[in-house]
Amino acid sequence: MESGYAATVMHSLLDFQRAGYLCDTVVVVDDGLLKAHSAVLAAASPLFKAALKTDDSPIEHTVILSGVGSYVASIVLEFVYTGDIVIPEDCLASDKVMEIFSVLQELGLQLPSADKRFLTN
């Protein structure tokens, strides 16, 4: 499989996630709800995989991320879908960066290697 093809598919899935299209999972965070695709979450994170395994709902799954706000959760979900961490510039001067990396680690997500560049917007 070509990496260009895989990246295109994952970016399409990210667009679907942002639009709520074909999403079958609700991620509950401290200040809201985010929709996502269970297969993408489970493939990316052992914690998500375990949580989704115990959810017997055939239609819509629920995952709760306690102590995480929607701002940080949306950045983490973008990483799940693309493998890139896009950190808004206004976030760089705050403690949100450490919170983002803490959530990534807690979810067991593979953090980018030191040679992978971080994107700011």
CATH (domain of 60): 3.30.710.10
pLDDT in tens, 60-113: 888 999 999 999 999 999 999 988 888 888 777 778 888 888 999 999 987 765
Residue 59 has pLDDT above 90, yes or no: no
* Biggest CA pair distance of the chain: 42
Q: How many domains does the chain have?
A: 1
Residue 1 has pLDDT above 70, yes or no: no
Question: Structural domain of residue 92, as residue ranges?
Answer: 3-120
Q: Is the dihedral of CA 15, 18, 23, 24 positive or negative?
A: positive
| Beta strand spans in 1-121 (E) | 25-29, 32-36, 61-64, 86-87, 119-120
